[in-house]
Amino acid sequence: MIIKKSELLITAARVDQYPETIVDEIAFAGKSNVGKSSMINALVNRKSLARTSGQPGKTQTINFYNVNDALNLVDLPGYGYAKVSKTEKEKWGKMIELYLNNRFQLKEVVLLVDIRHAPGINDIKMYQWIKSYGYTGYVIATKADKISRGQREKYISVIKKTLEIEDRNLIITFSASQKLNVDKCWDLIENLIVAN
């Protein structure tokens, strides 16, 4: 996709704050610090459209980014950060659930996992949750630049096995810093929008 325009529409903590747009939406879920914001920046070829932070648990709202007035990329709050209170975790869970239940524009929820680590219990729960809503179950394995090219398939096998993914094609390796598979991610997004 040729990016002519990309902007942050709104950061929403409540349903009544969601943007009143009718364009298709693709949402990204994943634990804190997995690289959702970095991926969005790489996709739109901007350094800091989505704010990144070395501090996990930074995204505590649902952030809507519009691309070319044609679709919204949606950054869901990161989960699984230990220093966040139980009440806060529950609040994030409800926030995500409300979004999944109230957004007719939502075409797919894509899970991001760190390629270097086997998906944890929260990743497994989130993946099962995504699948239970009827979504395909695409996974983007981030931070692929942190391991050698030869090691990637081994790590992908672990992700595939842990999340019980049958089709290897549902997993895309990705690196925001090296722009690895940005085109592949756009192909996926464009196919999802066309398919719906």
Report how many domains make up the chain.
1
* 10-residue stretch averages of pLDDT, the chain, 196 residues long: 94 93 97 93 93 59 95 91 70 87 95 97 95 96 97 97 97 97 97 83
Indicate the pTM of the whole model.
0.93
pLDDT of residue 59: 52
Instruction: Tell me whether residue 1 is in a domain.
Output: no
Instruction: Tell me whether residue 174 is in a domain.
Output: yes
Instruction: Tell me whether residue 99 is in a domain.
Output: yes
Instruction: Tell me whether residue 79 is in a domain.
Output: yes
pLDDT of residue 81: 66
Instruction: Tell me whether residue 164 is in a domain.
Output: yes
pLDDT of residue 86: 77
* Cβ–Cβ under 8 Å, residues 59 and 84: no
55: Cα separation from own chain's centroid:
18
Instruction: Tell me whether residue 150 is in a domain.
Output: yes
pLDDT of residue 80: 75
Return the amino acid letter for 91.
Answer: K
For the chain, strand residue ranges (E) read: 6-12, 24-30, 62-67, 71-75, 106-114, 139-142, 171-173
Instruction: Tell me whether residue 45 is in a domain.
Output: yes
190, exposed or middle or buried, with CB in 10 Å at 0-12, 13-18, 19+?
A: middle
> 84 lies in which domain range?
6-195
Instruction: Tell me whether residue 122 is in a domain.
Output: yes
CATH label of the domain that carries residue 111: 3.40.50.300
Task: With CA atoms as reference, report the closest residue to 26 among 43, 47, 3.
Answer: 43
pLDDT of residue 195: 72
